[in-house]
Structure 1
Amino acid sequence: MKAHDILIALIGADDPSLFAHAHEIRQRVFGNEVYIRAIVEFSNTCNKHCRYCGLRADNRTLRRYRMRAYHILETVAAAVDQRAGTVVLQSGDDPSYTAEYIGELVRQIKARHDVAVTLSLGDRGLDEYAYWRECGADRCLLKLETTDPARYKQLRQGEDFSARLHRVEELRRMGYEVGSGVIAGLPGTTPVDALRDILFLTDLGLDMIAVGPFVPNPDTPMAGNAPGSVDLSYRMTALLRILNPEANIPATSALDALRPGSRTLALTRGCNVLMPSMTPAPLRGDYAIYPGKNAGTDEDGPSLASARQAVRDGGFISSSAKGFSPRGSHVG
C-alpha cells in the first residue's frame, strides 16, 4: 500500500473493505485459531515517570505489590493447566528483581512446562536480556508507544527514543522474537502521526505488533485528556495486518477498557492473539496502567475462561500452541 492509501484508510474512507481485507489475510496465515498468551503481572512497582502510565513512580495513590517466586510459579502452573501456550512475565521497571532472580524463574518455567516464555520488563540492561535468553526466554515485548522522538521524550519525561529503539534492535540480534507497538490517539496526534507509526513499525520487521487506544488514567498528568479512538485502533491494526501478514497482532485490553466487547470484534479485523491476565485476583486491579486494564478477566481467581469465551464469541478457536510468528525462525 502507498502512504496516500494508508492515510485515506486511517480516516475511515472504507472501513468494511479495510477490515475484510485484513481478516482475509489473518485467516489465510493463521486460520481460525487465536493464540492465548497468559500474562503474570508480578510487580506493579516502577522507577519510571511516564506521564500516561498509572504505574509511574510518582503515583502515590497506587497500592504497590511484588510477587515472590513461588507465587509467580504457582500462577504460571495454573495458566499451563488451562492450556496456555505462552506465559508472559510482566512488570513495571523494577530492578529489585535481579537478573539472576528472573533467570531462575525462566529456567524453572522451562524445566517444568512446555511453553514459550515472553518477557515484558522494560528498560533492563542488554547484558541482562542476553542472560535471560541463555536461560531459555523466547520473546521480549518492548513498546515504543510513539515513533515520534520528540513526543516520546515528552511522554517519558526526557528519555531518549533512540536508546529504546536500539534496545529493540539488539533484542532481535540476541535471537528473541520481538514485539513492540504504539498507543493510538495520543493527545495532539493526527492521522499523519498514525501513518508514520504504521510505516515505522512495519520497517522494523517485528514478530508481534500491538496497537491499543489511549486510555487516560486519573492518577497521571494526562488525566484530563480525551481517550483515543477504538475505531482508529481497529484501522491501524488492520493496516498493520495487511502490511505484516505473518506478524502476531493482539487485540489489546485497552479496547475493552474503552468499549466492552471490542477485543472480540478486533479478532475479525486482523488480530490473532489475546493476552489475558492471570495475575491473582487480589493484585490484578493494582496493575493499573490505565483504568479497566484487566476488564473482562475472571473475578474469582486466575482463569483464562473469559478469554476463551471471547474467542468463541468471535467464531474462532482458542489455540494452545506456543504461537511463534511464521516470519521468524521458530516453529510454533
Structure 2
Amino acid sequence: MPASKVADLLRQLQKTHHLSLEEYELILSNRTKEDEELAKNLAKDCTEEYYGNGVYTRGLIEFTNYCKNGCHYCGIQRENQEVERYRLTKEEILDCCREGHQLGFRTFVLQGGEDPYFTDERIVEIVKAIKEEFPDCAVTLSIGEKSKESYEKYFQAGADRYLLRHETADEAHYQKLHPKELSFQNRMRCLQDLKDIGFQVGCGFMVGSPGQSSKSLAKDLYFIQEFKPDMCGIGPFIPQHSTIFAKEKQGSLEDTLFLLSMLRLIQPNLLIPATTALGTIDKRGRELGILAGANVLMPNLSPTAVRKKYLLYDNKICTGDEAAQCRACLSRRMESVGAKLLVDRGDAKKAKEARYEKA
C-alpha cells in the first residue's frame, strides 16, 4: 500500500465527511505517527471553523451509583460488593445546580446507574425543578436504557439532551462486554427513539476495550457517520479491579486522541468531550484531547462526599482540577493550549451556523 494512502483518505474525509467501512479499517490498521499529526491538524481546522477556540463546560452530577445491570467493565455494576452505594435527594441535586450556576455552568448533566428507585415520576420531578429554577440552562440525562414512553416523559418535562454510550457498534463485541440480558439491538433502539423524540443525542464508545479490533473500531466510526449524533464521548478503557476485566490492558492515549480527530473529521459540528478517563491516564490528557478535536469538558459538580463512590474504573480523578469548583484552574489549563472556557448552554452548531464560510 502506498505510504500516502492513509493521508489521502484523511484529506478526503475532511472534505466529504464520508468513507466506507473498509476505508476506516484501512486507516486504523495502517496509520503512522505522521498520519496522526495530519489528522490532528485537519481536525483542529474543522473545530475552529465551527466553534472557534471555545470550549463548552457541563456540570456533571453523579446522583446515584446504584445499578441493576452487570456490565463487565463497570465498577458500579450490581455484583460489586465493594461499592458504598448512595443516592442524592432532589434537594441535594438542586444544591449542586445552584453552586454550578454561580460558577458559570449553563448545562447540568445528571448521570447515574440504572437505578429502579428513580422512577419516571421522580426523574420528571427533578427535571422540572431544575428547569423551573434555571430556565437559562440545559438539562442532560444519562441514565441508561428506557422505554420510548419514558424518554418521552423526560423530554416533555424539559430535558434537552440524553447521553447513552453505545460502547461498541460491533454486535459480537457488545455481547463480550455485557451480560446476556442486555442486547445490542435494544441499545440501538434506544438511541433511535431518543433521536425521533427530539433530544439532542449523545453516544460514544470505549477505546481499547477487551476484544476490540480495528474492524470493530471502524464500525464505531461508520456508525457515527451514519447516525449523526449531536455528541460523541469516547475515552480509553480503564480496568476496574473488581470486574472480570481487572487484568485487561488499558486503552492507549495515542489511539484515543487519533479517534477524537477522526470523529471531528467525520462530523465537524459534533460536540466531543475531553473525558475524565483521558485525564486519568495522562495528566495533560484533557488538554491533548482539546488539541486533537474535542471541545467540551464535564467537571464534577457532585458533592465531595460522594465523588469517590462513583468509581466506574480505577484511579478516576475525583478531586483537584476535575472538581467543578476549580473552574479557574481549568480555565488556565485551557488557555495553555489556546482554548477558552465559555459560559454557554453549548448546543451543537448546525452546518449552516459554521463560524466561517467553507471555501
TM-score past 0.5 threshold: yes
- Larger mean CA deviation between 280-289 and 151-160 belongs to 151-160
In structure 2, how many angstroms separate the alpha carbons of the residues matched to 1:111 and 1:83? 18
Q: CA contact under 8 A between 2:299 and 2:323: conserved in structure 1?
A: no
> Does residue 1:262 correspond to 2:285, yes or no?
yes
How far residue 312 of structure 1 moved from its aligned partner, in angstroms, is: 2.2
How far residue 261 of structure 1 moved from its aligned partner, in angstroms, is: 1.1
> Does residue 1:109 correspond to 2:121, yes or no?
no
Q: Secondary structure at the match of 1:268?
A: helix
Cα distance, 1:8–1:296 mapped onto 2, change above 3 Å: farther
In structure 1, how many angstroms separate the alpha carbons of the residues matched to 2:226 and 2:319? 33
> Does residue 1:18 correspond to 2:44, yes or no?
no
Aligned partner of 1:89 among 77, 85, 110: 110
Residue aligning to 1:59? 80
Q: CA contact under 8 A between 1:230 and 1:259: conserved in structure 2?
A: yes
> Does residue 1:201 correspond to 2:262, yes or no?
no
Residue aligning to 1:125? 147
Aligned partner of 1:27 among 42, 45, 48: 48
Cα distance, 1:135–1:100 mapped onto 2, change above 3 Å: same
Q: CA contact under 8 A between 1:216 and 1:224: conserved in structure 2?
A: yes
Q: CA contact under 8 A between 2:103 and 2:325: conserved in structure 1?
A: no
Q: Between Structure 1 and Structure 2, how many residues are aligned?
A: 330
Aligned partner of 1:243 among 266, 271, 277: 266
The runs of at least 4 aligned residues of structure 1 exceeding 6 Å deviation read: none
How far residue 282 of structure 1 moved from its aligned partner, in angstroms, is: 1.1
Amino acid at match of 1:128: S
Residue aligning to 2:234? 211
TM-score, normalised to structure 1, is 0.94
> Does residue 1:271 correspond to 2:282, yes or no?
no
Structural mapping, 1:117-196, within 5 Å:
117-158=139-180, 159-196=182-219
Residue deviations 1:46-91 (CA, integer Å, cap 9, x gap)? 1100000001000000111111111110001111111112100110
> Does residue 1:41 correspond to 2:62, yes or no?
yes
Cα distance, 1:299–1:88 mapped onto 2, change above 3 Å: closer
**Structure number with bigger Rg:** 2
Q: CA contact under 8 A between 1:278 and 1:304: conserved in structure 2?
A: no
In structure 2, how many angstroms separate the alpha carbons of the residues matched to 1:173 and 1:329? 22
In structure 1, how many angstroms separate the alpha carbons of the residues matched to 2:205 and 2:322? 28
Q: Secondary structure at the match of 2:245?
A: coil
Cα distance, 1:6–1:296 mapped onto 2, change above 3 Å: farther
TM-score, normalised to structure 2, is 0.87
Q: CA contact under 8 A between 1:63 and 1:286: conserved in structure 2?
A: yes
Percentage of identical aligned residues? 32
Q: Secondary structure at the match of 1:46?
A: coil
Q: CA contact under 8 A between 2:43 and 2:293: conserved in structure 1?
A: yes
How far residue 180 of structure 1 moved from its aligned partner, in angstroms, is: 0.1
Q: CA contact under 8 A between 1:153 and 1:161: conserved in structure 2?
A: yes
In structure 2, how many angstroms separate the alpha carbons of the residues matched to 1:245 and 1:328? 8
How far residue 111 of structure 1 moved from its aligned partner, in angstroms, is: 1.1
In structure 1, how many angstroms separate the alpha carbons of the residues matched to 2:221 and 2:144? 22
How far residue 145 of structure 1 moved from its aligned partner, in angstroms, is: 0.5
Residue deviations 1:244-288 (CA, integer Å, cap 9, x gap)? 011101111111111121111110111000111111111001110
Aligned partner of 2:339 among 295, 298, 316: 316
Cα distance, 1:292–1:168 mapped onto 2, change above 3 Å: same
In structure 1, how many angstroms separate the alpha carbons of the residues matched to 2:161 and 2:322? 28
How far residue 186 of structure 1 moved from its aligned partner, in angstroms, is: 1.1
Structure 1's unaligned 5+ residue stretches are none
Amino acid at match of 2:123: I
Specify which structure has the higher proportion of helix: 2
How far residue 297 of structure 1 moved from its aligned partner, in angstroms, is: 4.0
How far residue 123 of structure 1 moved from its aligned partner, in angstroms, is: 1.4
Residue deviations 1:171-219 (CA, integer Å, cap 9, x gap)? 1111100000110111222222211111112211100011111000001
Structural mapping, 1:292-331, within 5 Å:
292-295=315-318, 297-298=320-321, 302-327=325-350
Q: CA contact under 8 A between 1:181 and 1:209: conserved in structure 2?
A: yes
Cα distance, 1:259–1:72 mapped onto 2, change above 3 Å: same
Residue aligning to 1:73? 94
In structure 2, how many angstroms separate the alpha carbons of the residues matched to 1:96 and 1:163? 22
In structure 2, how many angstroms separate the alpha carbons of the residues matched to 1:118 and 1:134? 13
Q: CA contact under 8 A between 1:79 and 1:303: conserved in structure 2?
A: no
